[in-house]
Structure 1
Amino acid sequence: MNGELNTRQDVHMLAGAYALDAIDDEMERRRFEAHLDGCPSCAQEVAGLAETAARLGQATAATPPPELKGRVLAEIGQVRQLAPTVARPQGSRRASADRKVGARVAAAMAAVGLVAAAVLGVLAYRAHTELEELRSANRQVAAVLAAPDARLAGTTERRGVEGTVVLSRSAGRMVFLASGLQPLPDDKTYQLWQLTPGRAHPAGLLRPDEDGYTAPALAVSVPGATAVGLTVEPAGGSAAPTTAPLLVMEMPTG
Structure 2
Amino acid sequence: MSHDAHTLAGAYALYAIDDPADETRFEEHLAQCAECAAEARGLRETTARIGAAVARQPSPELRSRVMAEIGQVRQLPPAVAPVPLRRPDRAPARAAWWPRLATGLAAACLVVAVGSGVVAVRIQDLLDKERASGRAVAAVLAAPDARLVSRDTPGGAATVVISRTEGRMVFYSAGLAPLPAGKTYQLWRIGPGGALPSGLTRPDAAGRTPPMVLGEVGDATTVGVTVEPDGGSAKPSGDPVVAVPLPGA
Aligned with 2:5 (options 2, 11, 18): 11
In structure 1, what is the equivalent of residue 88 of structure 2?
Answer: none
Contact 1:161 1:247 in 2 (8 A): no
2:41 to 38, 41, 47: 47
Work out the CA distance in 1 between the residues paired with 2:240 and 2:203: 16
CA distance in 2, matches of 1:12, 1:26: 17
Tell me how many residue pairs correspond in the alignment: 201
Show the counterpart of 2:125: 129
Which aligned pairs between 1:162-173 and structure 2 lie closer than 5 A? 162-173=157-168
The answer on whether the counterparts of 2:53 and 2:208 sit within 8 Å (CA) in structure 1 is no
Shift of 1:72: 9.5
Contact 1:207 1:214 in 2 (8 A): yes
Distance (Å, rounded) in 1 between the aligned partners of 2:183 and 2:121: 30
Equivalent residue runs for 1:190-229 within 5 Å: 190-229=185-224
Q: Distance in 1 between matches of 2:232 and 2:142?
A: 30
Taking structure 1 as the reference length, the TM-score comes to: 0.70
* Counterpart residue number, 2:77: none
Preserved CA contact (<8 Å) 1:16 1:145:
yes
1:33 aligns with 2:27: yes
Q: 1:149 aligned to 2:140?
A: no
| 8 Å Cα contact 1:192-1:205 kept in structure 2 | yes
Q: Aligned AA for 2:30?
A: L
Indicate how the Cα distance of structure 1 residues 213 and 127 shifts in structure 2: closer, same or farther if over 3 A, else same: farther
SS at match of 1:215: strand
Instruction: Choose which of 186, 189, 198 in structure 1 pairs with 2:184.
Output: 189
| DSSP-derived class of the 2:162 partner | strand
Contact 1:178 1:214 in 2 (8 A): yes
Unpaired runs of 5+ residues, structure 2, are: 68-117
2:147 aligned partner, one-letter code: R
Find the residue that maps to 2:141 and give its secondary structure. Answer: helix
CA distance in 1, matches of 2:147, 2:66: 46
Which amino acid is 2:14 matched to? Answer: L
Which residue of 7, 17, 41 maps to 1:23? 17
Query: Which residue in the other structure is 1:98 paired with?
Result: none
Compute the displacement of 1:204 (Å). Answer: 1.0
Confirm whether residue 240 of structure 1 aligns to residue 238 of structure 2: no
Tell me, yes or no, if the aligned pair for 2:146 and 2:161 is still in contact at 8 Å: yes
Q: Hey, what does 2:96 align to over in structure 1?
A: none
Helix, strand or coil for the counterpart of 2:248?
A: coil
Residue 57 (structure 2) aligns with: 63
Structure 1 CA distance for aligned equivalents of residues 225 and 33 of structure 2: 32
Aligned mates of 2:164, 2:65 — CA distance in 1: 46
Identity fraction in percent: 53
Measure how far apart 1:61 and its partner are: 2.7
8 Å contact kept, 1:194–1:200 = yes
- Whether contact under 8 Å (2:175, 2:207) holds in the other structure is yes
For the 8 Å contact 1:56–1:138, the answer to whether it is kept is no
Which letter does structure 1 place at the counterpart of 2:230? A
Q: C-alpha displacement at 1:210, in angstroms?
A: 1.3
**CA-CA distance at 1:181 after TM superposition:** 1.2
Residues 124 and 184 of structure 1: CA distance in aligned 2, closer, same or farther (over 3 Å): farther
Does the aligned pair in 1 maintain the 2:189–2:195 contact within 8 Å? Answer: yes
Specify which of 112, 135, 140 is matched with residue 139 of structure 1. 135
Q: CA deviation at 1:183?
A: 2.1
Distance 1:138 1:172 in 2: 17
